[in-house]
Amino acid sequence: MHIKSHLPGFLVTLDGPSGAGKTTCSHLLRDLLTDRGLPAARTTQPSDSPIGALARSGTHQFHGLALTCLVAADRYHHIATVIEPHLQAGHVVVCDRYVLTAYVLDRIDGASEEYITGLYQHARPADLAIVLMDDPEQCMARAQQRGLYSRFHHEDLAAAQREHELFLQSAEHLRAGGATVLIHRVGQDDAPAVAAALAEHVTAAIAARPVHFSHPPR
Ligand SMILES: Nc1ncnc2c1ncn2[C@@H]1O[C@H](COP(=O)(O)OP(=O)(O)O)[C@@H](O)[C@H]1O
Ligand SMILES: Cc1cn([C@H]2C[C@H](O)[C@@H](COP(=O)(O)OP(=O)(O)O)O2)c(=O)[nH]c1=O
């Protein structure tokens, strides 16, 4: 009987407040993983599908459960058409925002935690969920410098602080449910230093995962 060592793909997600550096660091992280010989792909939610484009540009037009469900439709489509195929091919997928963000933004928009948990009960959990955090003031300043285009991008500190607290709460909530969640604080590090630290965490988590064996059909 043949027993084939099967290395499944690995899903790393990056969530956190706007301006924390997710987009910048997710590109750098993908490059660092590739340099280490790991086939890695970087992607984002909302995705670049027509549903994702509608959600990303439509936060002023769509509110409450309409936006929550639009983002969920994009997320399930993206999982099925982008994330799963990469994982099946054995790639490391670095996803800029994932389900953890839903626990923050959808709650700000009125959905309950139970509703969000039900909505995503069929979404593949991340193998490593990273939450990138920095002081709310710092995140707000960087997001403002880059440009504000979403209803969830803040110009007032109280809203940024609320978002910050919700990310920490959501990280604890997912962790309590059994997810592997890492909170990484940016501090004084520049983006390449943050990405290098994240690459260490990701490679360690990949090395520590159990190896699965698949039995081909007889
Ligand atoms: N560690 C960092 N130190 C300083 N500036 C950063 C850092 N990470 C990202 N930036 C800058 O902050 C801005 C927002 O970063 P971005 O990656 O778009 O954040 P996010 O995707 O979390 O909203 C960009 O102009 C980016 O160049
Ligand atoms: C991932 C996600 C995004 N969105 C909306 C709000 C985000 O500000 C918008 C665009 O996301 P994104 O471009 O990642 O913004 P940011 O610069 O804040 O990281 O999409 C949701 O409403 N729910 C979600 O779960």
The domain spans of the chain are 7-209
What does the H/E/C string look like for 54-116? HHHHCCCCCCHHHHHHHHHHHHHHHHHHHHHHHHHCCCEEEEECCHHHHHHHHHHCCCCHHHH
Counting atoms of ligand 1 from 1, which one is nearest the CA of 132?
22
Residue with the smallest CA separation from ligand 2 atom 18 is 18
Q: Are 33 and 94 in contact (CB under 8 A)?
A: yes
Tell me the per-residue pLDDT of 102-133, one tens digit each, with 9 for 90 and over: 999 999 999 999 999 999 999 999 999 999 99
Tokens linked to 104: 């923050």
Asked whether 116 lines ligand 2 (CB < 6 A), one says no
Q: Is 124 helix (H, G, I), strand (E, B) or coil?
A: coil
Asked whether 46 lines ligand 2 (CB < 6 A), one says yes
Asked whether 166 lines ligand 2 (CB < 6 A), one says no
Ligand nearest to the CA of 170: 2
Asked whether 47 lines ligand 2 (CB < 6 A), one says no
Residue 141: pLDDT band by 50, 70, 90 thresholds?
A: very high
Q: Is the pLDDT of residue 20 over 70?
A: yes
Q: Are 40 and 27 in contact (CB under 8 A)?
A: no
pLDDT at residue 212, as a whole number: 57
**CATH level 2 (architecture), domain 7-209:** 3-Layer(aba) Sandwich (3.40)
pTM of the entire structure?
A: 0.94
Asked whether 202 lines ligand 2 (CB < 6 A), one says no
Candidate from 2-6, 11-15, 93-97, 163-167 with smallest mean pLDDT = 2-6
Beta strands in 145-211 (DSSP E): 181-185
